[in-house]
Amino acid sequence: MVKNTFTLSNQFDPFNLFQQQIYYNILVFLVKYTITVFKITIGVIMTEEQEFVEKCLAETERFPISFAESRVFSKIDENIEMKSGQIEIANVTYERGFNVRVILDGAWGYSTSSRLVEKDISQVVKQAIDVAKASALKLRKPIELTEEPIIIDTYKTPYKINPFDVDFKEKVELLTLADSTMKEAGEQIKVTESLINSYNVLLFFGNSEGSRITQNQTYVGCQVRATAIGTEIQRRTSQDYQMRGFEFVKDFNFEEEAKIVANEAILLVTEAENCPNEKSAFILEPFQLGLTIHESTGHPTELDRVMGFEADFAGTSFLTTDKLGTDYQYGSEIINIICDPNMPNVNGHYKYDDEGVKAKKFHVIENGIFKNYMTDRETAKEVGYEHSFGNARIANYNRIPMIRMSNLYLEPDPKGPKDIEELLSETKKGVYGLTWKSHSIDDKRINFQFSTELGWLIKNGEKIKPLKNVCYNAATPEFWANCDMITKKSRIYGMGPICGKGVPMQGMWVSHGGGWARFQDINIFSG
């Protein structure tokens, strides 16, 4: 009855057209079959999984626990990727399982299983109890949680077109259109890539306090990328993810995005000059700005990193708890960085976090001053918050909840320039950087170095020439303190399940962006 993981994958031989057609037909059938089975299963097991959570919680009552929670989590991930005219990946992965977490003798205990069978419940609960008992032997201090409202609710993210109802062939045709469009741009285009991802996450949650929550989330992502070769290799990428249905794929406009990235990739290998080495005004568009927010503000304000509970993937944080409530200057007065999972459609949207806490909109940075950490119930209690901000999330049934970013963005400035054109017109000299290429940051999240795929040299308010190999480095508080202009117009980008954290690693769905922003006296260089 429980289907753990089923993955279909294929790489075509580009020189065997007969083999291509056979494999294509097989893939179409298998992908359709897998998705149909998944949809039927979801309809059948809704009540069953709710009852399963109840049985897990009832089993924990046999032990002297002070708190318990259980989750049944399922995920379907359809990924179709085309590279240079061939379907390189076409797979569907479906995973389902449950977990139990308890507090016993002041310590956490956790266990999980990929089998939703009743006879496994006692074993999983017993394993969680044993882990708690072992953890209690080396306890730093007893676990305490914030008191949170009891919630009983069901929430489903809205969409117009279920992406899993859309014919596999239609998706391939969109990728083929993008591929041919990029190739038509010029002979310098040597590699073309495009993809469509579709996800559905279904989570049943319950705890010993009485909360019972079901959440059903659907989202999709699109990407096109062109790689050009001249005297060196350069690439241009366009991508976005949103918590919507297949209507977002239609809105993405593969043909237009393919034209843009291909033409700009050619520009990089034919006309672009290396980025100058200087201190300069530096302008970031929302996608690249989002990457900068993610690394230099998002991760260092995760309270588990601050407290040393988590140090994987680039360490802990310089933003120690002694800075909370001290009006610590994080940036200039126009810097307002907000966490808002309530915003609809964005990839970091949810109604409740995975500890059953209602999502909240709050300032991480307000008028340049550090205001709040992202929290779960345990860390919020430890620093004296009355409630958690609701930032605990899991990426799969076999992962513990961790403090994660959701929708974190730079608020546009109502007094700033209208849009990027007006911002550029007010820039005498500088560089405009577009689209993440690479990033590096130290283990305290202070010193960073990022690069962009494309840049433009700005003089007297105009884009003078394209630039390649654009890099910038800075110290986090100094960088944000140098922001002197943010547009009224803004945009939020979804970044897919790429935010890595924890061991074993959890890839999380996030969104970032905001207004177009200008920073003064930034070290830029060619790299």
- Check which CATH number belongs to the domain holding 160 and give it: 3.30.2290.10
pTM for this one? 0.92
Does residue 6 form part of some domain?
no
Does residue 504 register a pLDDT over 90?
no
Does residue 14 register a pLDDT over 90?
no
Residue 39: pLDDT band (50, 70, 90) is: low
CA separation for the pair 527, 507 (Å, rounded): 28
Residue 479 is predicted with a pLDDT of: 98
Do 55 and 101 lie in one domain? The reply is: yes
14: Cβ contacts below 8 Å, ≥ 6 apart? 20, 84, 85, 86
CA separation for the pair 351, 128 (Å, rounded): 28
CB 403 within 8 A of CB 391: yes
Positive or negative, the Cα torsion across 184, 249, 224, 464? Answer: positive
Do 307 and 436 lie in one domain? The reply is: yes
Single out the residue in 228, 244, 270 at which a domain terminates: 270
Identify each DSSP E strand in 105-232 by its residue range. Answer: 107-113, 152-156, 189-207, 212-229
Does residue 46 register a pLDDT over 70?
no
Do 302 and 216 lie in one domain? The reply is: no
Question: Rounded to the nearest 5 degrees, what angle is found at the Cα of 424, between the Cα atoms of 422 and 426?
Answer: 75
Does residue 11 form part of some domain?
no
The amino acid that residue 224 corresponds to is V
Does residue 18 register a pLDDT over 60?
no
Q: What is the mean pLDDT of residues 307-327?
A: 91
For β-strands 273-274 and 462-468, DSSP reports them as parallel
Do 350 and 463 lie in one domain? The reply is: yes
Does residue 3 form part of some domain?
no
CB 387 within 8 A of CB 348: no
Count up the domains in the chain and report the number.
2
Q: Radius of gyration (Cα) for the chain, nearest Å?
A: 24
Residue 19 is predicted with a pLDDT of: 55
Do 237 and 306 lie in one domain? The reply is: no
Does residue 8 form part of some domain?
no
Lowest-pLDDT range of 164-173, 251-260, 465-474: 164-173
Single out the residue in 270, 303, 332 at which a domain terminates: 270
DSSP label of 358: B
Residue 290 is predicted with a pLDDT of: 96
Do 29 and 99 lie in one domain? The reply is: yes
34: Cβ contacts below 8 Å, ≥ 6 apart? 6, 8, 92, 94
Do 220 and 115 lie in one domain? The reply is: yes
Residue 13 is predicted with a pLDDT of: 46
The amino acid that residue 515 corresponds to is G
Residue 310 is predicted with a pLDDT of: 85
Do 230 and 289 lie in one domain? The reply is: no
Domain extent for 165: 17-270
Q: Which candidate, 173, 191, 158, places its Cα nearest to that of 84? A: 191
Do 210 and 175 lie in one domain? The reply is: yes
CB 492 within 8 A of CB 408: no
Single out the residue in 245, 270, 295 at which a domain terminates: 270
Torsion angle, alpha carbons of 255, 258, 264, 266, to 10? -110
| For helices 17-60 and 168-184, angle between their N-to-C axes, nearest 10 degrees | 120
Q: Which residue has the tokens 């960085």?
A: 337
Highest mean pLDDT among 29-43, 83-97, 175-189: 175-189
Positive or negative, the Cα torsion across 353, 139, 57, 396? Answer: positive
Residue 510 is predicted with a pLDDT of: 97
Structure tokens at 203: 């989570």
Does residue 260 register a pLDDT over 50?
yes
Q: What is the mean pLDDT of residues 300-314?
A: 90
Q: Which residue has the tokens 């318990």?
A: 68
Does residue 9 form part of some domain?
no
Do 177 and 288 lie in one domain? The reply is: no
Lowest-pLDDT range of 9-13, 76-80, 494-498: 9-13
Does residue 151 form part of some domain?
yes
Does residue 522 register a pLDDT over 50?
yes
Structure tokens at 360: 């909240």
Does residue 7 form part of some domain?
no
Do 256 and 201 lie in one domain? The reply is: yes
For a pLDDT cut of 90, what percent of the chain falls above it?
A: 86
Do 306 and 259 lie in one domain? The reply is: no
